[in-house]
Every structure is written in structure tokens, then in C-alpha cells.
Amino acid sequence: MASASLNKVFLLGRLGTAPEMRSTANQLSVTTFSLATTEIRNTSGQRQEYTEWHRIVAWGKTAEICNQYLTKGSPVFIEGRLQTRSWDDKNGVKRYTTEIIASNIQFLPRSTSQATTNSYAQQSSDISSASSESFDNSSLADIGLEPINSEELSDIPF
């Protein structure tokens, strides 16, 4: 019997950088941006904020919509999966990065005004209806990212 597994991420945060869009040789759009999530903890009676940074990758129509509508500071809800990839840097040292491959992105309002809410609701509807287009590792090389060898992922030290 095969064991069940799940790779699912939900994030609610703000863009830390403006989206950056590129295209593969096959004209598939890919957009990347950083997302900040902040947790507030009470430590020794004092309130402290802890911020985590996440690298988000969107493909296809979702990438195009993100590039068109999102800006630094935009609040968003991201649904996706974790993906870790590795590459050798210019000194031959193996490097790793873990990214969130977005399958659904919902834009959230910056303010509570009705006009803004309606505008973001339409944008969220547009992006929710955009399909999460598939890609393969060869698409990564087209945009300057190293492909992932899934066999290499089994020896990641976490």
C-alpha cells in the first residue's frame, strides 16, 4: 500500500518586492516575487514581531495577472506547494532554495472602501480562473534557473 502525502501551503502576507516576469523559450510566462508573513509573539511580556520571507513563483496566466496587478506591499493570499531546487554556484558549491509554486493567488484590498474592494474582488476572480499551467524542468533552464533532479532532493538535510 502506498503511503499518502500532501504538499500544500497557504500564506497570507504582503509583497516584499515588485513582481518580476520572464518568459521561457516556449513563451510560458513566469513571475517571481517575495512575500512577507509576520507573526506577533508575546515574549517575556513584550510584544515582538517576527517576519518570514517566502519566494513565490507563478506560471502562465497567473504569472501575467500577478505582474499586471501586484506591486510591492500588495496584500495577497497564496495557495501552492513547496518546491526545493539546487544548483552549483560559480565556486562549485551546491546551493538550495525552497520556493512556493503558486496554484491560486487572491488579491486582498488595501483599504475598506467599496470601490477598492470591488476592484480587488474582480482581480481575484480573474486570477482564480487562470489555470495553473504546467511546466517541466526544461522550462527552468530557459529562464536561467537550474533544473531540479528529484533524486537529489532525497538527501536534503531537513
> Residues 158, 15, 130, 6: what is their CA dihedral angle, to the nearest 10 degrees?
20
Report whether pLDDT(135) > 90: no
More confident residue, 76 or 41: 76
Using DSSP bridges, classify how beta strands 29-43 and 20-23 pair: parallel, antiparallel or unpaired: antiparallel
Predicted confidence (pLDDT) per residue in 47-103, tens digit: 889 999 999 999 999 999 999 999 999 999 999 999 999 999 999 999 999 999 999
Helix 60-69 to helix 114-129 angle (10° resolution) is 160
The predicted structure's pLDDT at residue 43: 78
* pLDDT tens readout for residues 101-128: 999 999 999 864 444 444 444 554 455 4
Q: Compare 2 and 137 and report the one with higher pLDDT.
A: 2
In the chain, the largest separation of any two C-alpha atoms, in whole Å, equals 55
How confident is the model over 2-13, as pLDDT tens digits?
788 999 999 999
pLDDT tens digits along 6-36: 999 999 999 999 999 999 999 999 999 999 9
Q: Give me the residue label for grid cell 495553473.
A: 132
pLDDT for res 2: 73
Q: Kindly tell me if the per-residue pLDDT of 153 is higher than 90.
A: no
> What pTM was estimated for this model as a whole?
0.68
pLDDT at 150: 45
Q: Answer for the pair 144, 116: CB distance below 8 angstroms, yes or no.
A: no
Specify whether the CB–CB gap between 127 and 62 falls below 8 A: yes
How many other C-beta atoms are found inside a 10 Å radius of the C-beta of residue 149? Answer: 10
> What is the set of domains in the chain, with CATH numbers?
9-148 (2.40.50.140)
Instruction: Note the pLDDT of residue 157.
Output: 46
Q: Write out the chain in H/E/C secondary structure.
A: CCCCCCCCEEEEEEECCCCEEEECCCCCEEEEEEEEEEEEEEECCEEEEEEEEEEEEEEHHHHHHHHHHCCCCCEEEEEEEEEEEEEECCCCCEEEEEEEEEEEEEECCCCCCHHHHHHHHHHHHHHHHCCCCCCCHHHHHHCCCCCCCHHHHHHCCC
